[in-house]
Amino acid sequence: MYKIDFQKPIHIHFIGIGGISMSGLAEILLKEGFTVSGSDSKKSPLTKKLEKEGAVIHYGQSADNITDDIDCVVYTAAINRHNPELMEAVGRKIPMLTRAELLGQLMKNYETPIAVSGTHGKTTTTSMISHILLEAGTDPTISVGGILKAIGGNIRVGNSGTFLTEACEYTNSFLHFFPKVGVILNIEEDHLDFFKDLEDIRHSFHQFAALLPSDGTLVINGDIKDYIEICSGLDCSIVTYGSSPAFDYAASGIRYDEEGHASFELLKKGKNAGRIALSVTGDHNVSNALAAIAVSDLLDISADTIRKGLLSFTGTDRRFEYKGTFNGVTVIDDYAHHPTEIAATLKAAQHTPHNAVWCVFQPHTYTRTKAFFHEFAEALSHADHLILSDIYAARETDTLGVSSEALADEAKKLGTDAVYLPTFADIETFLKEHCRPGDLLITMGAGDIVTVGENLLK
């Protein structure tokens, strides 16, 4: 693998520079004195920011974008092997790195690299830890998979030895990382276009845990089925958290205030360590907060600072994000696209003031919809009213015989008031006619369904 010498800045070209993670890496390199170029399909706030900081960005991908002065090309798993820039770089024998390989090499430059993994909750937990690190004045470098208001974007370049990032399991990209502190939030079936089954996924998470050095620490959710199997053979320290007081960290007495915000008694090794208040809702966020507290304790951050940091976190972009109101209807947007995430979000909505909960769901990829067809119908039944838009294909072309219309029919079998509407315009018209003041509307999915709520708010 090509190795970058971070003391000798070179010209690096990013194929797909506008992605949330790619843009963050590009920004770090710009601040380290590297020459950065890249390409993407269209302009976005992220690409505009990079251009302002000195990156040269081409809109549209072409072999002509690969020039003689490029020393290394970085690409993501989403890039097709027939991509003209990728093929040109291969033809010119320019050194290449995946996004994950570059991120792994960056981590080696820091004394305390922290990697947050798990099927769900990575962005939220990374953001919670970010707030605590900022409250503590540790001056960290942060790479988060969403827009975090506290850092004004998805990246923060600090001047300390602390580096915090998400670690995604898709295509085993997190196996290129070099963490000192690793977090595993949960392990479930997902990305079945890459993994064979749950055992294959568990094996990858075990390999991720095995990356930790003997003086490192794994923070793991003890509620993961047979979590000890994931920890087997490790020579690093292991810290557990979860629903049982037998774990190193646990929560009891979970309560919700009139705005739906959670609070709980923190148990450390079974002993009460005081009440923690959050500014977000849902039992899943109580679990995320426990992971953030465990990591912060490893960094010797005071209990008072941890409390203040957690309370200051009000959520990230597209995670139960309040968008506004129209005709007295509250609009929330959420990135949930896996049945477990959907159920957690819709259960959290029950703690938020509402008359009826409307969920407008855009399934994400045909493989995921087919693999979890019945589970999707079950999870979506937690809404009072369900509207399904067409499946967001992302990188896929084969429909595998599944459709949103069929999913709506499956939800109806469970007694859910469900309807399939093919276009966003149809959905917006339907909602304007049927939503009532005091209702809660959640646009949900990893595609572009957010625009439905935004259009209604206009």
Catalytic residues, by residue number, are 122-123, 166
Rounded to whole angstroms, the Cα distance separating 92 from 308 reads 52
The token duo for 10 is 């070179």
Provide φ and ψ at 359, rounded to 5°. Answer: -120, 120
User: At what angle are helices 20-31 and 45-52 packed, to 10 degrees?
Assistant: 10
CA distances from 290 to 94, 145, 307, 456 (A): 44, 20, 11, 36
Cβ pair 171, 201 in contact under 8 A: no
Which distant-in-sequence residues (6+ apart) come within 8 Å of 362 by Cβ?
388, 389, 390, 391, 392, 443, 444, 445, 447, 448, 449
The answer to whether the beta carbons of residues 289 and 128 sit under 8 Å apart is yes
Q: Are 124 and 288 in contact (CB under 8 A)?
A: yes
Q: How far apart are CA 6 and CA 158, in angstroms?
A: 16
Q: Which residues contact 384 (CB under 8 A, 6 or more apart)?
A: 356, 357, 358, 417
Q: How far apart are CA 103 and CA 143, in angstroms?
A: 10
Calpha distance 450→441 (Å, rounded): 11
Burial tier of 100 (Cβ tally within 10 Å: 0-12, 13-18, 19+): buried
Helix (H), strand (E) at residue 58? strand 56-59
The answer to whether 368 and 391 have CB atoms below 8 angstroms apart is no
Sequence length of the chain is 458
Question: Tokens 């194929």, residue?
Answer: 15
For 121, the token pair is 């909750």
**Angstrom distance (rounded) from CA 215 to CA 217:** 7
Give the closest residue to 24 by CA, choosing from 182, 130, 132: 130
Q: How many angstroms from the chain centroid is the CA of residue 325? A: 26
Sheet containing 72-75: which strands, arranged edge to edge? 56-59, 35-40, 11-15, 72-75, 96-98
Neighbours of 311 (CB within 10 A): 16
